[in-house]
Amino acid sequence: MTHASALALLGGPVEHRRTAPKYPRFTAAAYDRVREALDRGPMQGLSKGHPIIAELEERLAAYHDVELALATSSGHGALQSALIGLEITGGDEVLTSPYSWGASVSCILHNGAVPVFVDVSPETGLIDPSALAAGLTSRTRAILVPHLYGQPADMTAIMSFAEAHGLVVVEDGSQAHGARHRGRRVGGFGEAGAFSTNGVKPLATTEGGYLVTRVADVYWKATISGQHAGRGELIGRASEPGFPDELRQHIDSMVYTYRPNIVTALLTLDRLPYVDAENAARRRNASALFAALDGVGSVSWPSHDAQDECVYHMVTLNFDAEHAGVSRDTYLAALNAEGVPAVAYVANGLHRSPRLSPSYDGPRVMWTETLRRAGVDPNAAELPGCDEKVARSIEIPWNHFEDDPESMASLARAFAKLEEGLDHLRRHERSGVAARSETASA
């Protein structure tokens, strides 16, 4: 049977009608603990002096095999706190990825430092360690490494580059809780690891985040932005045993803070024990999909080192426009019409943002002038790996955290249907292009 004439984009039936299960799910015990904590308080200025925060931060540090964790209000707050903890600010340059969520860049700008974009692998979209040297200057202080889509970056190569050049490393594991590079969980390689726990992440709550570090000095300096000022028993990080005396005078209300809340803390504690098993199911589902896509020449997927473990926050595919004979966007529209919730997650390299151009004349934010004074033009960066990944990438959000062979088969059928219908899709695209050029010349 050929599906070709029945593409949903051309009016045929929708192939993939299954939806991922509700995510995240919390246990009944979590609801009870939240109610109890809300009744009891306190709810402000939390620190390790509060038993729930102490339990959470101890468990997060143990999970990442580091000494210390600091709960924050978001992933962005965790990244920002990492840079505060490392004192990366005015005049400093940070090598980072142009292929990520904007927070891996905005935290640098908000801290008064300058992002320098380095190229990524056109397969994975992860920082290409061999591209780091191109961004190096005498002002480079740090590398900020996103583990995008739950894929671990090559931390062996990145750490050895950092060591050779005296740089510190901040990992952005917001999409990669539990992902492993050569057996070790991401977040614990560099001086600091930052994670989001917002409602779609592999460790999902409501909104929240956390920082992990093995360096006490980074933790204590990061607490400057992690607390409500105060010296009471529970109020403020300054009351934690070991808080350095020399920092005490800097605990005030003069910096933005990214404080944790008790509800998110309890929900994070509730979800943490399930993350590894759910990640394993995400991996099994992804493998089942890849196996079933064998023979669909329009897409391929990145391969990873056999010793690495992805956690598939999203499945990233690479589209082959030459094979398909249609544009990525037409293919994406046809996939969506078949019910596949696919997206092009990074619509454009972050270095191309008009806001980063020296000639930007839109609304100014706190870092607009800092960037102008730095005299850099990120828009001018040539990053062909990023351009290629942006042009051909297709992502499927992957909250398939339970084994689901039926959904994998149904997703694969949607891809197979498109593959069989490529001729129809080509004609559809050509007629659309012809219609558009007629309208333009009318």
CA distance 235 to 178: 31
Q: Which is nearer to ligand PLP, 198 or 399 (CB)?
A: 198
Q: Does 172 bind ligand PLP (CB under 6 A)?
A: yes
How are beta strands 114-117 and 93-96 bridged, if at all?
A: parallel
Residue indicated by tokens 């993939």? 16
Q: Does 76 bind ligand PLP (CB under 6 A)?
A: yes
Residue closest to ligand PLP, measured at CB: 75
- Asked if the bond preceding 24 is cis, omega within 30° of 0, the reply is yes
Give whole-number Cα distances, 43 to 53, 206, 241, 245, in Å. 11, 16, 20, 26
Q: Which residues touch 328 (CB under 8 Å, ≥6 apart)?
A: 319, 321, 344, 391, 392, 393, 394
Which residue of 80, 81, 151, 174 would you call a contact of ligand PLP, by CB under 6 A? 174
Which segment (70-78, 214-222, 251-259, 357-365) binds ligand PLP by CB under 6 A?
70-78
Which CB sits closer to ligand PLP, 104 or 330? Answer: 104
Structure-block tokens of residue 330: 């037409």
104 sits near ligand PLP (criterion: CB under 6 A): yes
Q: Which is nearer to ligand PLP, 66 or 350 (CB)?
A: 350
Tokens of 90: 């005015």
Of 139, 137, 117, 112, the C-alpha closest to 127 is 117
Contact status: 209 vs ligand PLP (CB under 6 A): yes
| Closer residue to ligand PLP, CB minimum distance, 101 or 319 | 101
- Mark residues 400-429: x for contact with ligand PLP by CB under 6 A, - for none: ------------------------------
Strands 393-397 and 314-319: antiparallel
In the complex, least distance from residue 74 CB atom to ligand PLP, rounded to whole angstroms = 4
Which residues, numbered 144-163, are part of the site for ligand PLP (CB under 6 A)?
A: 146
Nearer to ligand PLP, 343 or 416 (CB): 343
Count residues near ligand PLP (CB under 6 A). 14
49 or 98: whose CB is closer to ligand PLP?
A: 98
Residues 302, 304, 309: CA angle, nearest 5 degrees = 120
Q: Look up residue 126 and give its two tokens.
A: 């992860």
Residue 170 to residues 5, 101, 124, 195: CA-CA distances in angstroms? 50, 15, 19, 11
- 3-class secondary structure, 95: strand
Is-cis flag, bond preceding 13, omega within 30?
no
Minimum distance from residue 149 beta carbon to ligand PLP (Å)? 9
The interface region with ligand PLP, picked from 68-76, 125-133, 249-257, 267-275 by CB under 6 A, is 68-76
Structural contact between residues 319 and 157, judged by C-beta atoms closer than 8 angstroms: no
Determine the interface stretch with ligand PLP among 72-80, 160-168, 240-248, 329-337 (rule: CB under 6 A).
72-80
The binder of ligand PLP chosen from 24, 49, 75, 188 (CB under 6 A): 75
**Tokens standing for 293?**
């896509």
101 binds ligand PLP (CB under 6 A): yes
Interface with ligand PLP, residue 345, by CB under 6 A: no
Pick from 47, 97, 198, 227 the residue near ligand PLP by CB under 6 A.
Answer: 198
Residue 359 in tokens = 């000639």
Q: Which tokens hold the place of 128?
A: 């290409």
Residue with tokens 């529209």: 333
- x/- track of binding to ligand PLP for residues 292-311 (CB under 6 A): --------------------
Residue 297: DSSP 8-state = T
Question: Binder to ligand PLP among 97, 100, 227, 285 (CB under 6 A)?
Answer: 100
- Would you count residue 103 as binding ligand PLP (CB under 6 A)? yes
- Provide the binding-site residues for ligand PLP, judged by CB under 6 A: 74-76, 100-101, 103-104, 146, 172, 174-175, 196, 198, 209
